[in-house]
Chains A and B, each alone.
Chain A
Amino acid sequence: MTNIPETGRTPRVQIRLVMIQILVLSLLGTLGGRLWYLQIREGEAYAKEASGNHVQQVVDPAPRGSILDARGVALADNETRLVVSASRTELLKMKDDGKAVLTKLAGVLGMKPKEVMEKVRLCDAETPQPCWNGSPYQPIPITDEATAKQALQIRERAEDFPGITAEPQAVRRYAGPGGSNTAQVLGYLSPVTDEEITKAQDTDSPYLRSDQVGRSGLERQYDKALRGKAGVTRYEVDNLGRVIGEAEADPAQPGANLVTSIDARVQRVAEYELNEAMKEARKQWDRNTQEQYKADAGAVVVMEAKTGRVVAMASNPSYDPNAWVGGISAKDYKKLTGKSSNYPLLNRAIQGQAAPGSIFKVVSTAAAVQAGYDFDGRYNCSSAYSVGGQTFKNFESQNHGMINLGRALEVSCDTVYYSLAHNEWKKDGGINPKGKPKDYFYKAAHQFGLGKETGIDLPNEVTGRVPDRQWKQNYWKANKDAWCKTGKKDGDYVEQIAYENCLEGNKMRAGDEINYSIGQGDTLVTPIQMATIYAAISNGGTLYNPTVGKAIISADGKQVTEIKPKAHGKLPVSKQTLAQMDDALEGVATRGTAAWRFGGWPQDKIPMHAKTGTAEVYGKQTTSWFATYTKDYAIVMTISQGGTGSGASGPAVRNIYDALYGVSDDGTINKKNALLYQPQKKLPKIQADGSIDSPKVGKDPAKKQRALQEGTPENNGADGTQQGATVGTPTNENRDTRRRRQGRRRRPRRLT
């Protein structure tokens, strides 16, 4: 049609060319926009991804520090074992999810295929133990007890076992020197969880996927120090994993060693004696329940009186801490957590609580003096004390006439405390006090450190309970609905109690305060609390925070951080009262309720102080308490459903003292036999190469000690008394106090 002369272009072509040009430029504009979006707007995110892409970490795990006893004997250290582990990611790549390989592996290891499969499954809410609660990307240990032959079989036929490795690894070992166990104090480890990794990510001690974390006891309390810091070397790598860039290395810092105040030998003796005492108690007939004592649990604490350091701490039932190493088996886990085993994971020395019974009377005595009663006053130790139609009987309805508070402690006279507590209750205004009641008896308990943690360096300590007005109010609020529903005025015992509680459970009744005054009723204490209190009486009144850890020493021995004893209070008694109580408690050991257990004790050389307690628990057999101290040590033992204080726990505590001081049955002291005549002061030496100077521990110090004590030629007569100790006559003097309600059976007790 019409040619445009200049260019020879028709308008149609010209328009289309412009269209092409615009299109082309907009395409390039799109590229530029997208480039801006990726590089400028999202650039940071991609840069992060890129750095994750090309950096590989090689982790050099830090060896976990050892837990040592006071003399340097390893309670927990590491050993090299052949660990067979399976890579889940590799297994899942197989058609049958690796079942065939695992079955074959089970054959080599002599395990059941089911057992092996259970170990590699991942834990979730529905999966019971055993299961893997670590990272699914980390090799899962199947056994750490492979023999060299089994490891060879697996390694030589690697093609038959894809995803399976058999390598030597350092694993935790709880050596149990001298047959000691120390399970609950040491605690145990288990693999770190994803949650913990995320939580600790930005802290100064982040976890590695392969880390083991302390779950209880010292392993948990001192986890950070023990764990050290894993070495991480970062390599820049290419797409095939070949190293191309410089390495950025963070060398591993081995975990520090924890020196404890535990003495492995004393620990063994304590464990052994506790167990023997419980075994013995089970042979005894309980006339109240008409069956043998169950003695289902017990604990003993041996403490340095002047520092609060724990020399031995045993809890029974116990378990083998090595069961946790390399992943716990289903059977073991069930055993450790089941009711039938009575929860051996619990450290009853700090987590078991019970009514203290008469060992609480030191608190009541202090309270009475605070309230203005003269220590040397005359108080009526009648056979019974009546309040508003209720009769509270003295132990075995004994009548000691007018005695002072010291003698009341010695003979553990309940009625003296009943009347003092009742007087104070009346002074405070009775059931409906006007103004602010003084509550001397409750205040004293708080001042003695009851009702709260002692602050021991072990996790999950429980507080016990002081059943004061505040507690009663809270408790009533929480329970009154249930009480009011089940309570019947004329029902059985439980229903009557519920009825009473419904009406006035929020109020301090006379009976509450009277029961409380002898450590009964709703009072709860832990063995460690009582040990702290009796150690304080011994050391002049300082309540120390008990400690197990004594020092943290770096792996090369160069850095020593001592854990100094710390006090959390003073006993609320004057020096004079303390001295008087000290005398009275010595009297308990020489002529009072505990005297028959310390027959032949060299009292003039090592003054012994003691207090017995037998607490009642509704629906159960009595709890045995025995609290003792010398100038260096305090020992508190308790046995649940074990009988009386001196009866069940007495011999065991005596044997522990014998071992500590090297005292024979006849009362001679042989310091050569003494395990720890004086508390260990010096810290063990750790060499620069990490080796530890520690003495050897015999095969079984407990049995050896018994043999030593008995081995010395027998003296004339059972009461061998060259040492001049006063020996009370067992028959009548053995009196542990107990609360009496009217109409309950009388339980004559004769222990010989």
Chain B
Amino acid sequence: MSSGVLLSVEDVVVDLPTPRGNLRAVDHVDLAVGAGRTLGIVGESGCGKTMLSRAILQLLPRKARPSGRVMFDGQDLLRLPAEKLRRLRGRSLAVVFQDPMTSLNPVLTIGTQLIETIREHLELDLAEARQRGVDLLAAVGIPAPEQRLEQYPHQLSGGMRQRVAIAIALSCEPKLLIADEPTTALDVTIQAQILDLLAREQRRRHMAMIIITHDLGVVAGRTDEVAVMYAGRVVERAPTSALFKQMRMPYTEALLAALPKLDAAPHTPLPAISGRPPDPTRPLKGCSFAPRCRYAAGRCNTEKPSLSRAETPGHLYACFHPIETGAGAVA
């Protein structure tokens, strides 16, 4: 890997003990993000993308058992002592959660929640931290930032709250921002604004970003690389342009096909992926997507395909019957 790698996830496994047996939420995942680069992680609910992000942030449920290595800036986050981790979080590693309705504390003012982060990590007095807070709110497009500092989350709309959450994440100039479904809880009209804001601030601050989403449309054009996750595993990984030019994994193709299209004729049925993801407490012997895959045959049900290289550089996929090159993505 190149020297510019900021975060590398190496063979990460997250097991969750449940009453029904062990649930493998993340299954031997390898990923890397270069400084200033953007990685998109795509998959449907339950595919392990959020668990993976929580493993990176070390915010896993108490009973979860992670293994592997999460190297960030030369340190393994999985083995970092609590105090060192605390100084890293919010400072060089920041996060924006899915739902701004629940991720801000309802009984503390916007100002408190923003300024406490700044004061925790930067050597600023209260007035300087406050000024920085005002500048941040202005930077994320919040009108009348001075007044907003005194307000509580419930006095702001969902989109405004997500902007506040982004301002908090940006407050100490992190090297990596993890945005976990940052627009899923928002109105469609607000989604593009928030994504554009994230992209703009990322360029301005030269930070790396991981966008986690179930929506391939969100990562198209906004990321350098995309990893598609299914049943806890990365099943396809490629530079974004290569992926959209030629996806190889039938699951990726099905995800794209399931997006509603503006140019489709009215009342066209949406080609949803039939069936449901496999029970994560009962791992399949073969490819986890095989039961839902229209290309599945023979050894798909008996052997797990490993992530292997495609012809295009940087393109990896885990499939025995990849979509033929030249066939083009089925839309």
A and B associate: no
Taking Cβ atoms with an 8 Å cutoff, the residues of A that contact B are none
Taking Cβ atoms with an 8 Å cutoff, the residues of B that contact A are none
